[in-house]
Amino acid sequence: MRVTTLPLAVSASTTTSALGLGLDAHLDALHRQRSGLRTNDFSSAPLACWIGRVAGLETYPLPAAYAQWDCRNNRLAWMGLNQDDFLAKVRAARQRYGATRLALLLGTSTASIGATEEGYRRLDGERLPDDLHCTAIHTPHSLTAFVAKALDIGGPCLTISTACSSSAKVFASAERLIRLGLVDAAVVGGVDSLCDSTLFGFNALELVSPEPCRPFDAHRRGISIGEAAGFALLERIDAHTDTPLRLLGCGESSDAHHMSTPDPDGIGAELALRDALDRAQLDISDVDYVNLHGTASHKNDAMEAALIARLFAAHTRVSSTKGLTGHTLGAAGILEATMTLLALREGFVPGNAGVHHADPACSAHFAWHNEARALKVALSHSFGFGGSNACLVFARVVADNAP
């Protein structure tokens, strides 16, 4: 039996990354192809690489009421929530539906592990130091627990942590809860912040580039790790008929291949893509733009370039935006969903930043530079460790028209 996604209105969204605070900063950076990457000045020990660091978090403590959750990841969440009137828009939704009819679904890969790392650097014997001896920040649910309190959301609150697909998969979970009538609206999103675990972890896997990452370059040398926060408010279309941006489909699959490398045949990625389009009742030829996972790792980009060449119609344009932001891991899904929505709203294809010499495996679908083009249907790809794949379908519709 075919299951279709309930089309939902994306009635608010925001994102914060190395490109800046909020949607306008991201739109400006995309238009100018301005990279937010800089040499690594973050890790607790030297590591020669480039990072996408959000400026100002060190002097942006949480309000006193949320002091138990104060750490870099939750500061980034708070900074993100304070852009684009997002707090006010959620407050309005809460008043309209009631706190318990709102769900919160957030993705993160490492949550506030940076605070745990700091505690271990400053151990008091075999005990975390007093100022960090607090359960609230040493748990993977820290982000969602904090945001639930900050937004006063009383419905289901769940953290999805499937590595780099985390904050794409939250859209699928939210859509199911709304389709079943369990809630009326959902705040989705994700936050991941720079920490030693991921910098030295990906370094141990020999996946970190010593230079700014170059997705789909013939001589790419690996990823640049970044940090980001992003959020979106999803509601039924009948409650928001004038909202032009829509979520039409969410696809999910598993690679069943390897813990830390994608299936080179892209079987799992294609399953997620086809699942998303089937649910949206769209044909692959309906797709105008795909924001690729495009991490600049050898294996991901080879798999994804082959997938694009194999499946998509000639008019579909594709690009990775990680050359500007770095790979924001568990926040990549929401950051790139937000940039895909910006591309739909503004009618342009963001260029695939960072490339010097395009990989010859890349087909003519790749947009190496920005292109002005009216877009109706756009996808965002997110693939994670453990073979966790997600694909989101977004659309821009003329007001009052069903998609």
Partner 1 sequence: MSTLHIHVEGIGLWSRQIANFDALQRVLGGETPAAPAMRPDAAALSPNERRRAPESVLVAIEAASQAVAMSGRAVEHLACVFASAYGDQATTDYMCRVLAGRPTELSPTRFHNSVHNASAGYWTIATGCHAPSSAACAGSASFGSALLEAAALACADRRPVMLVCSDTAGTGPLGELIGCTIAFGCALVIAPAAHTDITLHLTTRAASWPDHPVLPDDCATWMRSNPSAACLPLLALLARGHGECVLAISEQSGLHVHKEPVA
**Rounded CA separation 233/103 (Å):** 10
Q: Which one of 327, 362, 381, 391 is the catalytic residue?
A: 327
Do residues 181 and 188 make contact, with C-beta atoms less than 8 angstroms apart?
no
Residue 360 touching partner 1 (CB under 8 A): no
Residue 271 touching partner 1 (CB under 8 A): yes
Least spacing, CB of residue 47 vs partner 1, in Å: 8
Nearer to partner 1, 326 or 384 (CB): 384
Structure tokens at 354: 């960072």
DSSP conformation class of 74: H
Residue 161 touching partner 1 (CB under 8 A): yes
Residue 256 touching partner 1 (CB under 8 A): yes
Range 275-314, binding partner 1 (CB under 8 A)? none
Binding part of the chain for partner 1, among 152-160, 240-248, 296-304, 335-343 by CB under 8 A, reads: 152-160
Q: Which of 197, 243, 281, 363 binds partner 1 (CB under 8 A)?
A: 197
Nearest to 389 by CA among 310, 275, 224: 275
Q: What one-letter code names the amino acid at 326?
A: G
Least spacing, CB of residue 35 vs partner 1, in Å: 26
Coil/strand/helix, residue 319: strand
**Rounded CA separation 346/121 (Å):** 46
Nearer to partner 1, 33 or 254 (CB): 254
- List Cα–Cα distances, 256 to 21, 251, 260, 263, in angstroms: 37, 16, 11, 8
Q: Which of 71, 76, 177, 303 binds partner 1 (CB under 8 A)?
A: 177
Q: Say how many residues touch partner 1, by CB under 8 A.
A: 74
Nearer to partner 1, 103 or 237 (CB): 103
Query: Which x/- pattern over 81-120 shows residues binding partner 1 (rule: CB under 8 A)?
Result: ------------------xx--------x---x--xx-xx
Q: What one-letter code names the amino acid at 78?
A: W
365 is catalytic: no
CB atoms within 10 A of CB 262: 27
Residue 135 touching partner 1 (CB under 8 A): yes
362 is catalytic: no
Nearer to partner 1, 156 or 244 (CB): 156
357 is catalytic: no
Q: Which one of 293, 362, 381, 391 is the catalytic residue?
A: 293
**Rounded CA separation 106/169 (Å):** 9
Nearer to partner 1, 300 or 319 (CB): 300
Within 98-161, where are the H helices? Answer: 113-121, 142-151
CA 45 to chain centre: 27
Q: What one-letter code names the amino acid at 264?
A: P
- List Cα–Cα distances, 336 to 15, 200, 327, 374, in angstroms: 9, 24, 10, 19
Least spacing, CB of residue 132 vs partner 1, in Å: 9
Strands 38-39 and 102-107 turn out to be unpaired
Residue 258 touching partner 1 (CB under 8 A): yes
Structure tokens at 348: 């342009």
Q: What one-letter code names the amino acid at 284?
A: I
Range 365-394, binding partner 1 (CB under 8 A)? 384-388
Q: Which of 84, 192, 235, 252 binds partner 1 (CB under 8 A)?
A: 252
Binding part of the chain for partner 1, among 62-70, 125-133, 209-217, 286-294 by CB under 8 A, reads: 125-133
Least spacing, CB of residue 156 vs partner 1, in Å: 5
Q: Which residues are catalytic?
A: 164, 293, 327
